[in-house]
Structure 1
Amino acid sequence: MEIGPYIKLHRIQQEMTQAELAEGIVSSAYLSKIENEKTEASPSVISLLCTKLGIQLVNETDEVIREKCQEWFDMLSSEYDTEDIIQKYQELNQLMYDNPSADSLAMFEVHKVRYFLVIGEMEKALSQINKLTEMTGTFDTLHQFYWYKFKGNYNSVASDFDLALRLYNIAEEKLNQIDLSEEEIADLQYTIAVTHSKLRNTLEAIEYAEKAISIFRTTYNFSRCAECHILLGISYRRIKMHDKAIKNYNLAKHLGELKQSKQIIQLTNQNLGYLYSTIGENEKAIANYEEIVNEPELMFLERLTATTSLVKEYYNIQEFDRAQDMADMSMKLLEDAEDQERYQLFYYIMHTYNYAINQEAEKFESLVIDRFIPYLQKHKDYANLVIYANMLADHFEAINRYKESVKYYKLANNTYEELISL
């Protein structure tokens, strides 16, 4: 990074206007030219501007800072504890501003976007994106690569997958202009594969997952290989190549066991359970879901997802007592959730089955018709909309309300057509 953009970055970082920095040294217009590399200022002017900002151009600790930054960057894409990542960030943040380094600072600021996403601070991530937008014209190609990749990450978390994919594609275009490790390239390819999967671009998801896994195999990164196998399993399930899906899930599970990664094992069991459920092998689905529920160190979301899935399976095979037990467990989990709105879908599912199990027809109809179906339509959750529109149609058919039954069978069929066209 040249001196002009370097000064500009520090000025923005310190929330100082051009007029405030230029006062007593140069005019605001002249400072603007310096920052945007439209003129070459004298060493004395540069020295005065740097002094006012409290920065220096050369520092003997630059190499140390670069090494520490790279260590932290690697932590953001690895299986590190969140508390360790936060602690390292705080140490590095202090070191960076005690000993500012131009190249390291720019990359550090860009990586803050990913950091805030990793620790779940969406608003801070967006604030960082907005703050850096003014600087993008001064980024070199490497900075641009990470800028577009991390902006893509933000939009992916925000569920704007179309925009995320466009940003990832721009990052991908930078690959032939920069020197990146094979792991970094594979990480982008995997991320693109996931985004295609979210958009239900199944063939593209398979293509990019295969690209990523070919690299992760050569670097013996078994955890990332497992993630790719899970994604391939999801993709093959969607195109009804069930044998290939099961093969990939089992490979992922085996790698998870080798790495002793409970997260990978649990995620594989969840996906195997879902696959067996879709092809009508309820007992196998239940066996996989029960493995998750019986895991003592299970995280909240995994436990909630598994118990909810078991309610559905037990209900489908008419084991209503066991379905009720799982529903009660799920409701207890929901009561303990800190962010109730985040788990609204689970709330609707559990109350739907609870009313169905206890034959509370009026409550069942009111919830599904007036609240649950509109919620699914609003969030474009077509897969669940098919399930619960069919469930409602079956209910009306069983009590001889055929006109209403036809209405919801039609909704389920139309939604299914929309789902498979995605």
Structure 2
Amino acid sequence: MEIGSRIRFFRIQNNMTQEELAQEIISISYLSKIENNQTSASIEVLELLCERLGIKLIESEEYTQLKELHDWYHLMVARKREPVLEFYESYECKNTNDSRVAIFFVLFELRHFIFTNQLDKAEDQIKKIDLYRDIFEVRMNYFYEKFVGQFYYLKSQFSVAMEHFKAAEGILTSSVHFESWETADLYYYIGLNNNRMGKLALSIVNIQKALAIYQSLYDLKRSAECQILLGICYEKIDEFQMAEENYLLATKVAEGINDSSLLGLIFHNQGVLYSKIGKSEEAIEHFLNSLKHKADDMVIGRLRSIHGLIDEYYKSGEYKKCQKWLETGLALVENHQGYPEFRIHFTYYDYLLNKLEDLQRFIEKDALPYFEGNEHHLQVAYYAEELGKIYQENHKYKLASYYFSKAVSSLKKHSHLNQ
């Protein structure tokens, strides 16, 4: 890497301004030219700048550290939480003189923040990386695009996430070599994101690509995850038998490798399936089993199953049990940062159960704007229909018609038929 690019990278990493770095050495304008590789400075000047940054003028190549970092990243891909956390806590080469090592550490640290759901830190990391992205080589750009896609997926900004995933796919399918497990992982996330966007045919295609690779690698857990996602896709297009078959295949694997978290995921989605076909008792049983298999740190997974229980108990008129799980869900949201989607869902049921006033206003001012802003078309359809019913009951037929039309329009956007 050119010395000017190195100096700019390490300056930004050290949170130094150009003024702070240049002070009593050179002018700010001259430093700017150096950082942009527009001039050749003297060895004396470069040594003074590097000394202030705590790096050496001559860059070392630390292949061992690069391998350690890539092994750490592979642990994140494989969902090995404890080894991932242990590596990050014990890693002692964060102030390396090798710019490639330093950049890959910053990128994989971004993935670490996403992996541990520290989205505020991830967002700050992305902003910092954007200041020196122009110095990245192709492989670095691939990881940047993929990780930023994963960040926006967790932020429920699925269209933005897809732009980054497609950029990563473009790099992946070029001449750059990546391991097959990396290819599978990207296709899995593209399929996952397509699923959330309601593009189910595209989701199935990408998940089948990932599944074929995982099966060739004998990666049982990731194969099971693909089977679960295929089941979700088939459930959404009302192919219930195919969905159940995929869940059963996944269950056999999860039981065979004794993976409790995987079983929790399967039980939840079986609960969703039974709810959709009107088998409320079976749905409740599976949501409860799902929670038993989910660890305390699986916050999103627990919130989803709790939401399923609240919905089923409310539909079946078991309001005391519904209230109990509503309180559990609200407490879980309060104890963790974020999760606005579930805060809205639970607040909605709070209005229903406790017959609070202004439900109409809550849906109009809070629920619909949030889901429309994040392109959650299915949720927009649900809340628009509920609002239409409220206006219809109050004989405000023009407003009722407007929201019923919005519900239909949102369903069309969500439908797999419109891909």
- For this structure pair, what is the TM-score category when the shorter chain's length is used for normalisation? 0.7 to 0.9
Return the alpha-carbon distance in structure 2 between the equivalents of residues 250 and 408 of structure 1. 42
The aligned residue for residue 354 of structure 1 is 353
Q: Secondary structure at the match of 1:280?
A: coil
After TM superposition, give the deviation of residue 165 of structure 1 in Å: 0.9
The aligned residue for residue 129 of structure 1 is 126
Return the alpha-carbon distance in structure 2 between the equivalents of residues 344 and 6 of structure 1. 44
The aligned residue for residue 345 of structure 1 is 344
After TM superposition, give the deviation of residue 266 of structure 1 in Å: 1.4
C-alpha contact 2:326 2:350 (8 A) present in aligned 1:
no
Alignment CA distance shift 1:148-1:220 (3 Å): same
User: What whole-Å deviation, never above 9, does each CA across 1:30-79 have from its counterpart, x for those lacking one?
Assistant: 54444333445565554443333221256878233223222322233232
After TM superposition, give the deviation of residue 158 of structure 1 in Å: 2.3
User: What whole-Å deviation, never above 9, does each CA across 1:69-113 have from its counterpart, x for those lacking one?
Assistant: 22322233232336x534422432x4231x421211111122222
Return the alpha-carbon distance in structure 1 between the equivalents of residues 131 and 379 of structure 2. 42
After TM superposition, give the deviation of residue 174 of structure 1 in Å: 1.1
Matching residue's letter, 2:231: G
The aligned residue for residue 376 of structure 1 is 367
After TM superposition, give the deviation of residue 143 of structure 1 in Å: 0.9
The aligned residue for residue 327 of structure 1 is 323
Matching residue's letter, 2:305: A
The aligned residue for residue 91 of structure 1 is 90
Return the alpha-carbon distance in structure 2 between the equivalents of residues 370 and 284 of structure 1. 35
The aligned residue for residue 12 of structure 1 is 12
1:5-404 map, 5 Å: 5-22=5-22, 28-41=28-41, 45-56=45-56, 62-81=62-81, 84-92=83-91, 94-97=92-95, 99-175=96-172, 176-295=174-293, 299=298, 301-316=300-315, 318=316, 320-321=317-318, 323-335=319-331, 337-339=334-336, 342=339, 343-352=342-351, 354-355=353-354, 363=355, 366=357, 368-372=359-363, 374-380=365-371, 382-384=377-379, 403=395
User: What whole-Å deviation, never above 9, does each CA across 1:355-399 have from its counterpart, x for those lacking one?
Assistant: 4xxxxxxx26x35323246433122255456556767888999xx
Per the normalisation by structure 1, the TM-score is 0.83
Larger radius of gyration between Structure 1 and Structure 2: 1
The aligned residue for residue 412 of structure 2 is 420
After TM superposition, give the deviation of residue 146 of structure 1 in Å: 1.0
Return the alpha-carbon distance in structure 2 between the equivalents of residues 345 and 255 of structure 1. 35
Question: Structure with the greater relative contact order (CA < 8 A, sep ≥ 6): 1 or 2?
Answer: 2
Matching residue's letter, 2:195: S
User: What whole-Å deviation, never above 9, does each CA across 1:170-210 have from its counterpart, x for those lacking one?
Assistant: 11111223221111111111111111112111111111111
Return the alpha-carbon distance in structure 1 between the equivalents of residues 367 and 323 of structure 2. 20
Return the alpha-carbon distance in structure 1 between the equivalents of residues 320 and 32 of structure 2. 68
After TM superposition, give the deviation of residue 164 of structure 1 in Å: 1.4
Q: Secondary structure at the match of 2:94?
A: helix
The aligned residue for residue 360 of structure 1 is none
Q: Secondary structure at the match of 1:240?
A: coil
Mind listing any 5+ residue stretches in structure 1 that lack a counterpart? Answer: 356-362
Q: Secondary structure at the match of 1:95?
A: coil
Return the alpha-carbon distance in structure 1 between the equivalents of residues 128 and 168 of structure 2. 20
Return the alpha-carbon distance in structure 2 between the equivalents of residues 28 and 407 of structure 1. 61
Return the alpha-carbon distance in structure 1 between the equivalents of residues 22 and 394 of structure 2. 78
After TM superposition, give the deviation of residue 293 of structure 1 in Å: 4.4
Return the alpha-carbon distance in structure 2 between the equivalents of residues 409 and 147 of structure 1. 45
Return the alpha-carbon distance in structure 2 between the equivalents of residues 228 and 368 of structure 1. 39
Return the alpha-carbon distance in structure 1 between the equivalents of residues 222 and 34 of structure 2. 45
Return the alpha-carbon distance in structure 2 between the equivalents of residues 338 and 156 of structure 1. 22
C-alpha contact 1:394 1:405 (8 A) present in aligned 2:
no
In percent, how many aligned pairs have the same letter?
A: 26
User: What whole-Å deviation, never above 9, does each CA across 1:259-289 have from its counterpart, x for those lacking one?
Assistant: 3222221122111111222122334323322
C-alpha contact 1:190 1:212 (8 A) present in aligned 2:
yes
C-alpha contact 1:196 1:205 (8 A) present in aligned 2:
yes
Return the alpha-carbon distance in structure 2 between the equivalents of residues 370 and 254 of structure 1. 47
C-alpha contact 2:309 2:325 (8 A) present in aligned 1:
no
After TM superposition, give the deviation of residue 313 of structure 1 in Å: 2.8
Name the stretch that deviates more: 345-354 or 131-140: 345-354
Q: How many residues align?
A: 405
RMSD: 3.3
Q: Secondary structure at the match of 2:267?
A: helix
Return the alpha-carbon distance in structure 2 between the equivalents of residues 170 and 296 of structure 1. 34
Return the alpha-carbon distance in structure 2 between the equivalents of residues 334 and 17 of structure 1. 43
Return the alpha-carbon distance in structure 2 between the equivalents of residues 32 and 396 of structure 1. 61
Q: Secondary structure at the match of 1:200?
A: coil
Mind listing any 5+ residue stretches in structure 2 that lack a counterpart? Answer: 415-419
C-alpha contact 2:187 2:206 (8 A) present in aligned 1:
yes
Q: Secondary structure at the match of 1:379?
A: helix
Alignment CA distance shift 1:127-1:239 (3 Å): same
C-alpha contact 1:270 1:292 (8 A) present in aligned 2:
yes
